[in-house]
Amino acid sequence: MACMVSANTLKAKPFTLKIQPNYTRSIMLIGKTVGERVSNISFERAGLIDKFTVNDGDLVKADAVMGTLDTQRLAQRRKELEADLKRLQVELVLAKKNSQRQSSLLKRKHTAQQAYDETITREKTLEANISRTQISIELIDVELKKSVLHAPYDARVIERFVHLGVYVQAGQNVMKLQQARIDEVHMGIPEEMISEFPIGKCVELLNADEKIKGCVEKIIPVLSRQTQTVRMIFSVKEDAKLFSGELIRLKWQRTIKDPGAWIPAGALVQGMRNSWLIYALNKTKTDLWKVTPLAVQVLFTDGKQAFITGDFKNNEKIVGYGVQKFVPNQKVMLQLDK
């Protein structure tokens, strides 16, 4: 039924609600690069530092020599023991020959048993001395190996703590190393998102404006009390130039299985006690529409649009724009786009 419409009757620009079973929201996760190994390196024996082959910032390969201790005394002692070993070995050859002669004479009863026993004792004593000398040489070789500082893995020298000519104790830190290639990104994710990141899943990570491919290597199943997240570890599959501690971002689209509808953010009306309303448009018996407040719950908003749930119907019309111009129960006309 038509009626006379006042010239002062406001026009409301409608928005039609479309109910959907879920919604997608974009979230930003923040992590950081981690050098898996950072080590303080030391010599295994005490001594005077004779040489360093690396300086701060240098890259070293696994097992490369980085420094040595003074080994002059060890080397000299080893030479002395080698000389003793050769002498003992010569004496042992002569002792064995003497034992053989004494054994032959004893069989013919041309020598006493005591003389034969003495040659055997001499032979065994020389063998024991040779064994002891060989062990001493082996121990010196161990000390010589301990005098050389090797890189335990491909690394970068972060800092040298001591200088040449300094006497250091066994186990005293002489330099700090960090794994040369930064190949891990650690990131906290909400517990409910774990299922979205199966092991092996590859994603696009962002280091400032640089895109990096990272694949889920492991998830540490321990919930952080401070952040209420679990730690996810990405292995960086590309040869990216990363430094330890850099912030890495992951922009992720989440599908939330909550039914509702998207509306313009400007269609929301502040209600009582931090509640939210929308203005539903209900057709009257005339050409006018009645503004009816309807309570809703805002599930997500990005500032431009909001996803809401509430007691509304699919294809229901609401005031989509300029809600501040209207009040509940007001009669309005629809502003239809031409």
Tens-digit pLDDT profile for the chain (338 aa)?
445 556 578 899 999 999 999 998 888 899 988 766 788 999 999 999 999 999 998 989 989 999 999 999 999 999 999 999 999 999 899 888 888 777 777 777 766 777 777 888 888 999 999 999 999 999 999 999 999 999 998 888 989 999 999 999 999 999 999 877 777 889 999 888 888 899 999 999 988 888 888 899 999 888 888 888 899 999 886 566 777 778 899 998 888 889 999 999 999 999 888 899 999 999 998 889 999 999 999 999 888 999 999 999 999 999 999 999 999 999 999 987 65
| In contact, 231 and 224? CB cutoff 8 Å | yes
Range list for CATH 2.40.30.170 in the chain: 26-35+182-255
CATH of domain 11-22+259-334: 2.40.420.20
Nearest residue to 180 via CA among 239, 132, 113: 239
Cα separation, 184 vs 186, in Å, equals: 7
Half-sphere exposure of 334 (CA within 13 A, CB side): 17
Say which residues have a Cβ less than 8 Å from residue 109's Cβ, sequence separation at least 6: none
pLDDT for the residue 1: 47
Range list for CATH 2.40.420.20 in the chain: 11-22+259-334
| In contact, 146 and 10? CB cutoff 8 Å | no
Cα separation, 234 vs 216, in Å, equals: 4
Range list for CATH 1.10.287 in the chain: 71-146
pLDDT for the residue 166: 93
Thinking of the domain 37-70+151-180, which architecture would CATH place it in?
Beta Barrel (2.40)
Write out the H or E segment, with its range, that includes residue 119: helix 113-146
User: Residue with structure tokens 């689209």?
Assistant: 253
Range list for CATH 2.40.50.100 in the chain: 37-70+151-180
Say which residues have a Cβ less than 8 Å from residue 95's Cβ, sequence separation at least 6: 119, 122, 123, 126
pLDDT for the residue 312: 94
Tokens of 286: 């005339």
User: Residue with structure tokens 């004479």?
Assistant: 105
Cα separation, 49 vs 67, in Å, equals: 8
Q: Which CATH superfamily is domain 26-35+182-255 in?
A: Efflux pump adaptor protein, beta barrel domain (2.40.30.170)
Which ranges in 147-215 belong to alpha helices (H)?
none
Thinking of the domain 71-146, which architecture would CATH place it in?
Orthogonal Bundle (1.10)
Which amino acid is it at 2?
A
